Amino acid sequence: MTPMMQQYFDVKNQYPDFILFYRLGDFYEMFFEDAQIVSAELDLTLTGRDCGEDQRAPMCGVPYHSAETYIGRLIEKGYKVAICEQMEDPKLAKDLVKREVIRIITPGTLIETDLLNEKSNNYLATLYYDGSSVGLCFADISTAYVSATAFRDRMTEDAVIGELSTYNPREILLNVPAKALPKVAEHIRDRLGASLTEAASDFFDQDAAAGRTEEQFGPEQTAGRPRVALVAVGAALKYIRDTQMKDIAYLRELHFYETSQFLEMDLATRRNLELTETMLAKEKRGSLLWVLDKTNTSMGARLLRQWIEHPLTNVAQIFKRQQAVAELADNFMLREELREKLAPVLDLERLITKVSYGTAGGRDLRAIAQTIAVIPDLKSMLSTLAAGALSEILTDLDDLADVYDAIDRAIVENPPFVIRDGGILKDGYHADVDELRYIMANGKEWIKTAEQREREKTGISKLKIGYNRVFGYYIETPRSAADQVPEGYVRKQTLSDKERYITDELKDMEATILGADDKLKALEYDLFVALRSAVDAESVRIRQSAQALARLDVFLSLADCAAQNSYVCPTVDTSDVVDIKNGRHPVVEKFVEDSYFVPNDAYLDTGERRLMLITGPNMAGKSTYMRQTALIILMAQLGSFVPATSARIGVVDRLFTRVGASDDLASGQSTFMLEMKEVASILSNATKNSFIVYDEIGRGTSTYDGMSIARAVAEYTAGRKIGAKTMFATHYHELTGMEGTVPGVFNCNVAAKKRGEDVTFLRKIVPGPADDSYGIEVARLAGVPGEITRRAKEVLAELEGKEGNPGRRAKTAEPADEGQMNLSFADAAADEIKEALRKTDINTLTPIEALNLIYEWKRML
């Protein structure tokens, strides 16, 4: 094997799980299996290279300057990449160029802005399970955000899954026992799009890992914290250091939290409420975030998303946010001015990270300067405001004049992309730079003067000074003038009619001129790096200001949204009441703007009115109404105003929404099993302080099974063990009989008006059970031919003629107690079929009618 190939394999063997980008001149090359994978995934040509063996090594490559895009696409597809660089200048290397892996790129440890979504965080999660407790850490190294929590006494897999779903990490690192948690492993595999890494045991070694955390963050931030959480953080630190291969001192803040600080929601609930993306299309448009996001900066956009993903449960904290939103919402002019000021603000959080990693260039420093330049004006605008959260922003905003001046004095307005080719520093910044530049700029002039002098000295009027790459500056004379050439001219080249010479003096000049270029580049680079380190030294202040800018942007966004959409400030308290007047669905109202969104009231408490049973035809607006109530609660708890004319929200600890299987198209597994799993998880996790939405559960199975399950779930939810505020939409009209027999249950329906064959949806929630499901009318509205709907009516009439039939007029049936109900469910179908058989007159049946009847019986069964 060639020496180079041996070197390649030495490196590759250390990184077997990574695609190795091996630097060769201006390219990164991949070999063998890596080459085959990359050429197939990225559609690159597969070539070959001599490797000393019989067969050529399969090879493919990408130019080094555009490598980032290719790396990004590989990461997107779930691969991990190791970058192997040339560690010395190939021109100067004696033997084989030294090469080393300088960075590992994995989905959870990206800092390259081009590979990141600017409007969302990119989390690495670590999960440590010691057999009884779980420690979790979430780190976004591009913004230096590290948080951690622990589940000790009440560790449940559901709780762990809930947290993972909240952060939605790109990459998860687990210890071996954690990977063996069956539900967690299944959830990560099936429902989260994260890449999974089972770490070598030394990552999670208890003492070492906890020690790393204590060392990194200091005793003030770690003392008394749950050990499992410290271990999870320590594993993350090691993984980050191993991938970045740089000092990570810039990670300074560790946010410990308890899940009870936030409104807890599981993955199904988050998806169903379409918080940050729609269920089907997975688009932002149509989500709550889409309505609320009027931010001006990517820092603000990320923070708003975090707030939506983590609504609060502490009334005082919620109130503090509301006050800030309220003050800005009341002040249109100020909002306009603030928005204008925020317009040039760039992603300071990620820029400062690049500074800390030493990857920031001249443009990045200029971007930092451009951003902090707005701070003084912002501060004076904020100085008149009263809300506590806004004055905190004012305090946290450092005007950073020193940093601005340092950058502005040094860096040109439009610096070049690369930092090693000079042209980055302003004139007048450094005397040596100025002098070298003078020499270079005047080099031409200098040569011209020398040329003139030599002409005069020699009397050769056609004498010229030229330059080529082979022997630098030379004096050229016509051959005819050869005898006029003075002593000291050394002949270098003879052409057909010219001679070329050099002189000592010329070579001295040359050294100065050409050396100046190299010297200048090196000096500029050193000065730039020094400046970058000086900026890094202020990174704590800069980061604090960046976070303050993000908060300001979020408050501004919520205020804009409140003002533009006529939202109202909800009263949030610790009562058990949800009382909304004229509530609207924040997203749906945007889509019916040309018609009219019908507002609706909602009242629930944990006493007599805790389970609202909602009936009404399909398309009436049941799902919309329930979701809007859940969203209003969530918006209130994140500190936003809400779409209503008034609202009082008693803080909710957990929010659940469960949609009947056939409605849950998004998950792609619309199985009854999944629906029941989710229901089971609600039943075991909901408390009296939770808010639950059940949207037509029980659909995924046969009518009687479904109805029985729906009723049992409703009873249990309203019952002593949970007693949570619940909205329960059902197409089983039989369930309306629970009102009056099951404590806390009350009926509502969405009004619809039937006129002849037509049905008009009034979209208004009214008390009492629905009197008709209008299924056939809706079918007609939808364009099902009259022949069919007429026939359907006949069938309906026949069915309704039967005794004991739990058809759609079941509201007239007596509310049976459970025992009886189960009995009648079990026997009803058989009875119905028996009865139908008895009534059938075989002598008058046509074959097609017979077939239809059999079909119908089969369906009943």
Binding site for ligand ADP (CB under 6 A): 588, 592, 597-598, 616, 618-624, 763
CB of 370 to ligand ADP, least distance (A): 44
Q: Report the residue number, 322 or 628, with the smaller CB distance to Mg ion.
A: 628
CB of 317 to ligand ADP, least distance (A): 32
Please tell me the distance from the alpha carbon of residue 625 to that of residue 600, in angstroms, as a whole number.
8
Q: Report the residue number, 70 or 774, with the smaller CB distance to ligand ADP.
A: 774
Q: Kindly report the CA angle at 676 between 670 and 680, in degrees rounded to 5?
A: 145
CB of 334 to ligand ADP, least distance (A): 34
Q: Report the residue number, 288 or 542, with the smaller CB distance to ligand ADP.
A: 288
User: Of all residues in this chain, which one has the CB nearest to ligand ADP in the complex?
Assistant: 621
Q: Which parts of this chain interact with Mg ion (CB under 5 A)?
A: 623
840 CB neighbour count, 10 Å cutoff: 14
CB of 595 to ligand ADP, least distance (A): 7
CB of 198 to ligand ADP, least distance (A): 43
Chain Cα centroid distance, residue 806? 48
CB of 274 to ligand ADP, least distance (A): 13
DSSP 284-352: STTSHHHHH---SSHHHHHHHHHHHHS-B--HHHHHHHHHHHHHHHT-HHHHHHHHHHHTT---HHHHH
CB of 660 to Mg ion, least distance (A): 8
Residue 59 to residues 34, 56, 362, 454, 558: CA-CA distances in angstroms?
Answer: 8, 9, 35, 56, 53
Residue type, 324: A
Q: Report the residue number, 296 or 730, with the smaller CB distance to ligand ADP.
A: 730
Question: Which of Mg ion, ligand ADP, none is residue 166 near (CB under 5 to 8 Å by kind)?
Answer: none
Residue type, 451: E
Q: Report the residue number, 132 or 662, with the smaller CB distance to Mg ion.
A: 662
Q: Report the residue number, 368 or 620, with the smaller CB distance to ligand ADP.
A: 620
Please tell me the distance from the alpha carbon of residue 753 to that of residue 759, in angstroms, as a whole number.
5
Question: Which of Mg ion, ligand ADP, none is residue 618 near (CB under 5 to 8 Å by kind)?
Answer: ligand ADP
Answer left, alpha or beta for residue 483, where phi above 0 means left and psi between -120 and 50 means alpha: alpha
Question: Which of Mg ion, ligand ADP, none is residue 763 near (CB under 5 to 8 Å by kind)?
Answer: ligand ADP
CB of 622 to Mg ion, least distance (A): 5
Q: Report the residue number, 536 or 589, with the smaller CB distance to ligand ADP.
A: 589
User: Of all residues in this chain, which one has the CB nearest to Mg ion in the complex?
Assistant: 623
CB of 670 to ligand ADP, least distance (A): 16
CB of 765 to ligand ADP, least distance (A): 9
- Token pair, residue 228, equals 């499992």
Give just the sign of the alpha carbon dihedral 421, 424, 430, 431: positive
Q: Report the residue number, 550 or 727, with the smaller CB distance to Mg ion.
A: 727
CB of 566 to ligand ADP, least distance (A): 15
Question: Which of Mg ion, ligand ADP, none is residue 598 near (CB under 5 to 8 Å by kind)?
Answer: ligand ADP
Residue 412 to residues 334, 345, 416, 427: CA-CA distances in angstroms?
Answer: 33, 19, 9, 8
Q: Report the residue number, 324 or 729, with the smaller CB distance to Mg ion.
A: 729
CB of 674 to ligand ADP, least distance (A): 20
Residue type, 117: N
Answer left, alpha or beta for residue 129, where phi above 0 means left and psi between -120 and 50 means alpha: beta
Please tell me the distance from the alpha carbon of residue 452 to that of residue 461, in angstroms, as a whole number.
9
Crossing angle of the two packed helices 401-410 and 362-372, in degrees rounded to 10: 140
Q: What is the side-by-side order of every strand in the sheet holding 145-151?
A: 195-198, 171-174, 124-129, 134-140, 145-151, 254-256
- φ and ψ at residue 16, rounded to 5 degrees: -65, -30
Please tell me the distance from the alpha carbon of residue 728 to that of residue 748, in angstroms, as a whole number.
10
The answer to whether 341 and 371 have CB atoms below 8 angstroms apart is: no
Coil, strand or helix at 101: strand
CB-side neighbour CA atoms (13 Å) of 723: 11
Q: Report the residue number, 545 or 624, with the smaller CB distance to Mg ion.
A: 624
Please tell me the distance from the alpha carbon of residue 143 to that of residue 119, in angstroms, as a whole number.
12
CB of 273 to ligand ADP, least distance (A): 13
CB of 773 to Mg ion, least distance (A): 13
Q: Report the residue number, 143 or 624, with the smaller CB distance to ligand ADP.
A: 624
Question: Which of Mg ion, ligand ADP, none is residue 624 near (CB under 5 to 8 Å by kind)?
Answer: ligand ADP
Q: Report the residue number, 254 or 620, with the smaller CB distance to ligand ADP.
A: 620
CB of 761 to ligand ADP, least distance (A): 7
Q: Report the residue number, 637 or 773, with the smaller CB distance to ligand ADP.
A: 773
Which long-range contacts link 629-632 to residues 24+ away (Cβ below 8 Å)?
A: 629/578, 629/580, 629/583, 629/602, 629/691, 629/693, 629/727, 630/273, 630/655, 630/657, 630/691, 630/693, 631/273, 631/288, 631/585, 631/586, 631/587, 632/570, 632/580, 632/583, 632/586
Q: Report the residue number, 234 or 617, with the smaller CB distance to ligand ADP.
A: 617
218 CB neighbour count, 10 Å cutoff: 12
Query: Quick one: which of 816, 811, 796 has its CA closest to 615?
Result: 811
β pairing state of 611-615 and 600-604: unpaired
Question: Which of ligand ADP, Mg ion, none is residue 620 near (CB under 5 to 8 Å by kind)?
Answer: ligand ADP
Query: Quick one: which of 675, 686, 741 has its CA closest to 711?
Result: 741
Crossing angle of the two packed helices 32-42 and 67-76, in degrees rounded to 10: 90
Q: Report the residue number, 166 or 623, with the smaller CB distance to Mg ion.
A: 623
395 CB neighbour count, 10 Å cutoff: 12
Give just the sign of the alpha carbon dihedral 218, 221, 226, 229: negative
